[in-house]
Structure 1
């Protein structure tokens, strides 16, 4: 049995391509693996708080030293980290906003990238990811063409950032399904979504 954490981050509902594609992935996966457990979090409609000063004080101090205020400030983060670590695999639906991730997803990342929970620093100042043996799939929706041969690829700060920050905490087995050119006309959108759906179906048998 595999535990999967499925997260959507688009504020849109029916018109969200990232939601549609991540839902397709999860539905196909459940059909072939009915024994697996799926946890779902909707950051687009139920965002998590941004990091604030009490959070920082709590995250960088021993739990036994926390005042009630600091314990309360870090509680949501603790819950999110526990949920994240309990999963074996992750499926993320992430639209591209201004060449990167939505603020809802960035806030989530800031909550789970935690010293001594998801990464550590040794005596020499070297960083080590503590999240090991996990797999992640990022399903992205992009208005323009940010594929490898496009002039816009230099503006893709989404995939490089996600690869870097998740590798930082130890998640290096990462796959991307990028639906590009969704705002470039009906034909481009239809072709891109069809390609993404085909990749999803192929991936289900291999992941």
Structure 2
């Protein structure tokens, strides 16, 4: 049995397939989960909506607590880090991390940035030793996890080689911290043309949905093969 961690971050409620002003990213993540669960109904799905329940932003007390050795932490430090610990535990339990993250002013929503700040944790998801030879930082998340980013954009051309690629700080701004903690297998799909609300948007939605179905199916097969190899002791 695999674990899928499903995170939504759009400020819009519901999917764009439900009502006119619904979220495209929620539409895509829900479709991915449906396709995934149809193939693997026994898998565990953890759901977190960081827009409805935003993680607390990092504070000076949080930093003080996080950079204090676990054995030296005072009760208030453990309390400050309790939410972060829960988020890290969820992340570490997952095989697939599925994130719906629309573009807001060229970057990810603030709620998802708060999530990232809570799961990039010294001693838990990355290590630090100033006396270590070479790089003083290293990733601590065990290998084998996959990150799926499903996004939406008002304009078009933000993908690789597109006219606005340099202005896209969504995927790059998420891939970098996740790679820092050890998650480098990343797949991304996006709906564009939202502000145009014409046939170009409908075409982009159709393409993104077909890509989501294909990706979910492909990752299903890969996870199944990996579990089969583990069962054989490979």
TM-score interval w.r.t. the shorter chain?
over 0.9
Q: Is the 8 A contact 2:35 2:217 kept in 1?
A: no
User: Any stretches of 5+ residues in structure 1 without a counterpart?
Assistant: none
Matched, 1:98 2:135: no
Calculate the TM-score normalised by the size of structure 2: 0.85
Q: Deviations over 1:145-187 (max 9, x none)?
A: 1133432111011111211111111001100011122212321
Question: For 1:201 and 1:76, how far apart are their aligned partners in 2?
Answer: 33
Q: Deviations over 1:78-129 (max 9, x none)?
A: 1111111011111100001111100000000000000110011241343211
Q: Partner residue of 1:7? A: 7
Runs of 4+ in 1 over 4 A off after TM superposition: none
Cα contact 1:147–1:180 (8 A) shared by 2: no
CA root-mean-square deviation: 1.1
Alignment map for 1:23-62 (pairs within 5 Å): 23-62=30-69
Q: Where in structure 2 are there 5+ consecutive unaligned residues?
A: 15-21, 220-234
The aligned residue for residue 108 of structure 1 is 115
Structure with bigger gyration radius: 2
Is the CA contact 1:182–1:192 (under 8 Å) kept in the aligned structure 2? Answer: no
Which of residues 154, 161, 164 is equivalent to 1:143?
A: 154
SS of 1:162's equivalent in the other structure is helix
State the shift of 1:17 in Å.
0.8
- How many residues are paired up? 207
For 1:181 and 1:7, how far apart are their aligned partners in 2?
A: 23
Secondary structure in structure 1 of the residue aligned to 2:154 = coil
SS at match of 2:193: coil
Alpha-carbon distance, 1:69 to partner: 1.5
With structure 1 as the length reference, what TM-score do the two structures score? 0.96
> CA-to-partner distance for each residue in 1:177-205, whole Å, 9 max, x for gaps?
11122212321211111110000111122
User: In the alignment, which residue of structure 1 is the partner of 2:87?
Assistant: 80
